[in-house]
Structure 1
Amino acid sequence: MAQKGVQLDQETISCSICLDPLKDAVTIPCGHSYCMSCIQTHWDGEDGKNIHSCPQCRQTFTPRPVLVKSTMLADLVEQLKKTGLGPAAADHYYAGAEDVACDVCTGRRLKAVKSCLVCLVSYCHKHLQPHHESAAFKKHKLVDPSEKLQENVCSRHSEVMKMFCRTDHQCICYVCSVDEHKGHDTVTSAAERTERQTELVVSREKIQQRIKNKQKDVKVLQQEAEDISCSADEAVEKNHKILTELIRLLEERRRDVERHIRSKEETEVNFHGVCALD
Structure 2
Amino acid sequence: MNRSGTDSLTFAMVRCFARCLLAGAAFNTRGMQNISLVFCMQPGLELIHPDPREYRKALRRYVRHYQSHPFWMPCLVGLFLHMERAIAAGRMPAAALAKVKDTTAYTLSAIGDSVFAGSLLIFWALGTICLLLQGHTLLPLLAGITFFTGLQCFRAYTFMAGLRGGFLFLERLRHWDLINWGTRVKYANAMLLLWLWMLLWPRPLIWWQWLPAVVGLMLFGRFVRTGLVSRVLAAMAFLALVQFYPLVREGILDILGAMG
Higher helix share: 2
Q: Which one scores higher on RCO, CA 8 angstroms, separation ≥ 6? A: 2
Higher strand share: 1
Q: TM-score interval w.r.t. the shorter chain?
A: under 0.3
Q: If the length of structure 1 is used for normalisation, what is the TM-score?
A: 0.20
Q: If the length of structure 2 is used for normalisation, what is the TM-score?
A: 0.21
